[in-house]
Structure 1
Amino acid sequence: MQRLAAVLGKDGQTVDVMQTPISWVLVTALWAYKIRKAVQFDFVDFSTLAARCHDCHEELRLNRRLAAALYLDVVAITGSADQPSLDGAGEAIEYAVRMHAFSQQSLWSSRLALHRLTTADIDQLAILMAHFHQAAAVAGGSSSAGTPASIRQTAEETLALIDSRITGSVQRQQLARITDWQILQHQQLDALFTLRKTQGQVRECHGDLHSGNILTEHGEVIPFDCLEFAVQLRWIDVLSEMAFISMDLQCHARPDLANRLLNQYLEITGDYEGVPVLRYYEVQRALVRCKVALLRNDQHVSDAGPAMTPAQQARDYLAFSAEHCVAPPGAILITHGYSGSGKSTVSGCVATIVGAIRIRSDVERKRLHGITAGAGAGAVAAAAPDGGIYAQAGTTLTYQRLGVLARGVLAAGLPVVIDAAFLKRDQRGLFERLARELGVPFLILDCQASDATLRTRLAARSQDVSDADVTVLVNQMAHADALSPDELKTTIVFDSGLVATTQALMEFIAPVLRRLNIRTNPVPPAAAGAFQGGGVMDRPT
């Protein structure tokens, strides 16, 4: 590689040489050249030139799905090992994928380290991946991809490689715990794995979606370096893909961003029934990163920086996997309030704080009627406040659907926040009974604002998913059932007419949640931005 680097730098250009367990990457000011190593592992075989050439063309083809502007072509390396040439005369001795070079500071791994990854980045990735997955090729019924047997085989191979390389007593205890948990998970999830394959949720994905393979340049989020060399690791459940970046964000101490990403993605796709597989896949993805770190350690290759060796990385990923074998306590939190009272803003912040899955009635109501989940106001033909999809039958169906989805989320060991008006006692009772049945805490987030504030907000709405206007508000006020004395015992009141921050909200609500045995996530100062909500009053007993 040093000979080729010298050729690339012959005009005085600086050439950075980097490597992974399976590739070399040479980077100049304008271009990057990725060259496969002649290696053979259980998951990849690059032992022949023909195999490396094929993989280069596959990388180009597959990465152009998400990063067309980044990937240029495949170039032949000719000449000899002592005197290599790019696209020179003679037969190829090697091949390289040529890409546009980019600043390492653009990588999400760097942006995370510098606290520069934003919620706008997260939202853009959620939208991008949701649409990418919806358009991706679906694994055929005869394919082994996504079947319980193939999932189990991949998991066992990963554990076997880790087992062959770890020696510490703590790590061996963690691995034993993970192994036992994995066996139990397969018993519990095999039927769901099969169902998701049947439903078309196993698709040709990116396959390697972690922060080192995502960049933001000129405001555009670009996932690159997809997993082209192992078909069985690319044709996967779409939620396995999202679990990878979710795990990675958590390992970078940003569970708030992981939660936002998953909630934005699920809101677009509606794939809440797949939530029970998320924890399993997060553990598996951490184990994959542990395996990669161990391979780097074998080759004395490090991309972790001076503060973190590959061996340390491997230990951290293994610890994450072991910790995530235990699900946190579940909980049901529902909002309550008129249109414009700040329910969606408050519920989003609370979901971040407790690491909950948020489900919105405005979105699910439209989805039930075949209307695009992200459709804003105006997507539904004008109707009376209780007409069209907002008629009593549609409302009853919507709340029943919310209950079904909530039950699935809770079965996965996650808290759930239901963002809906809940202006009727029977609507609230449906979820109160569910919480009692499942033995989880129940909390009402009562969002309030002055009449003038409500009317001003509704009049100013343009792109909101809700279709509510002032006429709807007046109708709500006329027919709402007030919270009963018993309900008020499990209610927190938010005056959303005041401005607060996520951090302030967390400082207020965290003690309440701890009393209810609801775990809270730390919210970094960088995430504690302003939101319309606050002026809170604690009323649980």
Structure 2
Amino acid sequence: MSNGSNATPPQSELLAALRDPAIYPWPVDAVEVIETHISTVFLAGDHVLKIKKPLDLGFLDFSTLERRGWFCEEEVRLNSRLAPDWYLRPVPISGTVAAPEIEGGGEPLEWGVLMRRFPQSALADARLDRGELPVNVMDGLARVVAEFHAEIPAAGPDTDYGTVDSVLAPMLQNFEQLRELDAAGADPAVLDALEAWVQTQGEELGELIDARFQGGFVRECHGDLHLGNIAWHEDEVIVFDAIEFEPYLRWIDVANEVAFVVMDLDHRGAYDHRHRFLNAYLEHTGDYGMMRLLRFYAAYRAMVRAKINGFMASQAEEGSEARQAARQQVTAYMALAQGYTQLRRPELVITHGLSGSGKTQVAGELVAAEGHLRLRSDVERKRLFGVAPEERRDDEPEAGLYTPEATERTYSHLEGLAREMLEAGWSVVVDAAFLDPRHREAFRALAEELECGFRILDVQAAPDVLRERVRARARAGADASDATVDVLEHQLADYEPLSGDEAALAQVIRTDD
């Protein structure tokens, strides 16, 4: 890319000219303009033109034309990974400030990014506000993000992206910058307390942060994954506007990325969406180890949004409604960050029931209602033995993946995962048959050891209902369960109800209807 001179005319004159529909070399009836703290976005006909503001904010530097041109290239490269049909190319803007030419000849006055346009009403945050974002869209988002994380490169051992210092640097910078923004109205005492917590957590989690870097979990992520950068359009999840301006903000632990979605949904009170997304992502990836870090990163993400609203408050006129609204958001995000510093006593819940009884749905309802993390034995058994969840197995009862040895290994694995999440302060529901009282006792003992709450969801249905459900599920072939009617009959022959002391801890749930 030839960027020409670093000298640039006052950008405000150029931006004013770009409001004219006649400027664009494609059909445009009207131009809608959106201002962010770092960009000006022109919605023009079927396309979007995004211009970077000539700013140097420390964490980004768009101060020269050359740098803006380079970052336009980077923006297209990075966003083509998740939205290849929507990001088109970097475009030079030449001519004069009064009569600019998009992709014209001559030396560029400015650079922009050209994109295809989707309706603003398709943005996930706008849809959520209108009550038009179905919870099951979170399944699609989790799949997109999980597959993206699996495909992108991991940071090499010669980089310092995964070090504790590189993780803490942007976190601590948030506090420094908020303190300098008088217009943000950030409470100094809250800032001090949060900063001290972040530093303490950095020390306590340092070994885990390093281990995850060594394990390949630090990758070239999106970096800014919140609902304003996600759209649901024509049944497609579109993730856009990845961070291009600072590698350290996108070369991050995937847990850091997931935490941004979680935090944003928490901030909006969309807890059912939040629980659905997080559980679906964990089920896709099996990366339950991230849960020890999720609150740490969620608090960081809340402070990122607090800082951005602080910048917006500073850019707004004193006494304006815009400044007041931004200040309120600063306070709200800081309160959310404080919430992540407070642990609650977790609960361990296990299911009990035959194949086809509806354990998975009941566990899913607990996820939606109370935010438990779900461990599905059908999924984790296959992951443990290197089998894809959707791969159908026709093993006979007590054969293949279902030998007594394989079953013991599966329950031991589930217990280890449950322990890890409970110790990190997360409530867990283990979706498994738990027909063997030894397995139930092991999990009950785990809850007692960790001083957690404990419940059994005893899920029941009539045998004929169970048989029909198992047949229907096998015909559909869309579930991780491999249970057949033969497996069910084997279970029915050996079935024993819960003992008396277990029944006292159980909630019986009939699912016949």
TM (norm. structure 2) is 0.93
- CA distance in 1 between counterparts of 2:406 and 2:482 reads 15
Alignment match of 1:448 (pick from 443, 460, 483):
460
- CA distance in 2 between counterparts of 1:89 and 1:237 reads 43
Equivalent residue for 2:165?
Answer: 149
Equivalent residue for 1:525?
Answer: none
Equivalent residue for 1:488?
Answer: 503
Equivalent residue for 2:7?
Answer: none
Alignment match of 1:344 (pick from 348, 354, 360):
360
Equivalent residue for 1:111?
Answer: 127
- CA distance in 2 between counterparts of 1:307 and 1:488 reads 57
Q: How far apart are 1:147 and its partner, in Å?
A: 1.5
Q: How far apart are 1:308 and its partner, in Å?
A: 7.6
Secondary structure at the aligned position of 2:205 is classed as: helix
Cα deviation code 1:160-216 (max 9, x no counterpart): 112223689983332232122212211221111011101101111111110100011
- CA distance in 2 between counterparts of 1:89 and 1:392 reads 73
Equivalent residue for 2:490?
Answer: 475
Q: How far apart are 1:14 and its partner, in Å?
A: 1.0
Q: How far apart are 1:444 and its partner, in Å?
A: 0.2
Work out whether 1:140 is the aligned partner of 2:136.
no
Secondary structure at the aligned position of 1:5 is classed as: coil
Equivalent residue for 1:497?
Answer: 512
- CA distance in 1 between counterparts of 2:38 and 2:363 reads 44
Q: 1:349 to 1:497 in 2, by over 3 A?
A: same
Mapping of residues 132-211 of structure 1, within 5 Å: 132-165=148-181, 171-211=187-227
Equivalent residue for 1:283?
Answer: 299
Cα deviation code 1:112-137 (max 9, x no counterpart): 11011112311111111111100111
Equivalent residue for 1:405?
Answer: 417
Amino acid in structure 2 at the alignment position of 1:482? P
Residue pair 2:460, 2:510 contacting (<8 A) in 1 also: yes
Secondary structure at the aligned position of 1:193 is classed as: helix
Q: How far apart are 1:269 and its partner, in Å?
A: 0.4
Residue pair 1:146, 1:193 contacting (<8 A) in 2 also: yes
Amino acid in structure 1 at the alignment position of 2:499? S
Q: How far apart are 1:324 and its partner, in Å?
A: 1.6
Alignment match of 2:33 (pick from 2, 17, 25):
17
Residue pair 1:424, 1:480 contacting (<8 A) in 2 also: no
Cα deviation code 1:45-77 (max 9, x no counterpart): 111111100000111111111111111111111
Amino acid in structure 1 at the alignment position of 2:95? G
Residue pair 2:260, 2:301 contacting (<8 A) in 1 also: yes
Q: How far apart are 1:7 and its partner, in Å?
A: 5.5
Cα deviation code 1:372-427 (max 9, x no counterpart): 2x324x2x2x3321111101111111011001100111121110110000001100
Cα deviation code 1:133-172 (max 9, x no counterpart): 0011110111111221111111111121122236899833
Secondary structure at the aligned position of 1:468 is classed as: coil
Residue pair 1:66, 1:223 contacting (<8 A) in 2 also: yes
Residue pair 2:352, 2:459 contacting (<8 A) in 1 also: yes
Residue pair 1:17, 1:26 contacting (<8 A) in 2 also: yes
Alignment match of 1:125 (pick from 141, 147, 154):
141
Equivalent residue for 1:232?
Answer: 248
Residue pair 1:8, 1:15 contacting (<8 A) in 2 also: no
- CA distance in 1 between counterparts of 2:138 and 2:317 reads 30
Residue pair 2:21, 2:44 contacting (<8 A) in 1 also: no
Cα deviation code 1:346-369 (max 9, x no counterpart): 001102222111111111111111
- CA distance in 2 between counterparts of 1:201 and 1:133 reads 9
Identity of matched residues, %: 39
- CA distance in 1 between counterparts of 2:21 and 2:361 reads 56
Equivalent residue for 1:214?
Answer: 230
Equivalent residue for 1:464?
Answer: 479
Cα deviation code 1:239-263 (max 9, x no counterpart): 1111101111111111111111010
Equivalent residue for 1:510?
Answer: none
TM (norm. structure 1) is 0.88
Equivalent residue for 1:58?
Answer: 74
Q: 1:455 to 1:301 in 2, by over 3 A?
A: farther
- CA distance in 2 between counterparts of 1:301 and 1:412 reads 44
- CA distance in 2 between counterparts of 1:46 and 1:429 reads 60
Secondary structure at the aligned position of 1:65 is classed as: coil
- CA distance in 1 between counterparts of 2:55 and 2:464 reads 69
Amino acid in structure 2 at the alignment position of 1:239? A
Secondary structure at the aligned position of 2:18 is classed as: helix
- CA distance in 1 between counterparts of 2:284 and 2:244 reads 27
Q: 1:187 to 1:430 in 2, by over 3 A?
A: same
Q: 1:247 to 1:392 in 2, by over 3 A?
A: same
- CA distance in 2 between counterparts of 1:74 and 1:226 reads 15
- CA distance in 2 between counterparts of 1:364 and 1:216 reads 30
Residue pair 1:334, 1:419 contacting (<8 A) in 2 also: yes
Cα deviation code 1:504-528 (max 9, x no counterpart): xxxxxxxxxxxxxxxxxxxxxxxxx
Secondary structure at the aligned position of 1:209 is classed as: coil
Cα deviation code 1:253-303 (max 9, x no counterpart): 11111111010010010001221111111111111011111111111299x
Work out whether 1:436 is the aligned partner of 2:448.
yes
Residue pair 1:125, 1:221 contacting (<8 A) in 2 also: yes
Alignment match of 2:273 (pick from 257, 260, 263):
257
Equivalent residue for 2:373?
Answer: 357
Q: How far apart are 1:13 and its partner, in Å?
A: 2.0
Equivalent residue for 1:75?
Answer: 91
Q: How far apart are 1:81 and its partner, in Å?
A: 2.1
Equivalent residue for 1:419?
Answer: 431
Equivalent residue for 1:528?
Answer: none
Equivalent residue for 1:533?
Answer: none
Residue pair 2:184, 2:310 contacting (<8 A) in 1 also: no
Q: 1:169 to 1:71 in 2, by over 3 A?
A: closer
Work out whether 1:396 is the aligned partner of 2:414.
no
Equivalent residue for 2:285?
Answer: 269
Aligned-residue Cα RMSD (Å) equals: 2.0
- CA distance in 2 between counterparts of 1:240 and 1:313 reads 21
Q: How far apart are 1:307 and its partner, in Å?
A: 11
Mapping of residues 500-539 of structure 1, within 5 Å: none
Q: 1:301 to 1:272 in 2, by over 3 A?
A: farther
- CA distance in 2 between counterparts of 1:292 and 1:215 reads 21
Alignment match of 1:319 (pick from 335, 342, 354):
335
- CA distance in 2 between counterparts of 1:222 and 1:212 reads 11
Amino acid in structure 2 at the alignment position of 1:349? E
Secondary structure at the aligned position of 1:119 is classed as: coil
Q: How many residues align?
A: 493
Cα deviation code 1:455-496 (max 9, x no counterpart): 000010121100001111111122234211111111001001
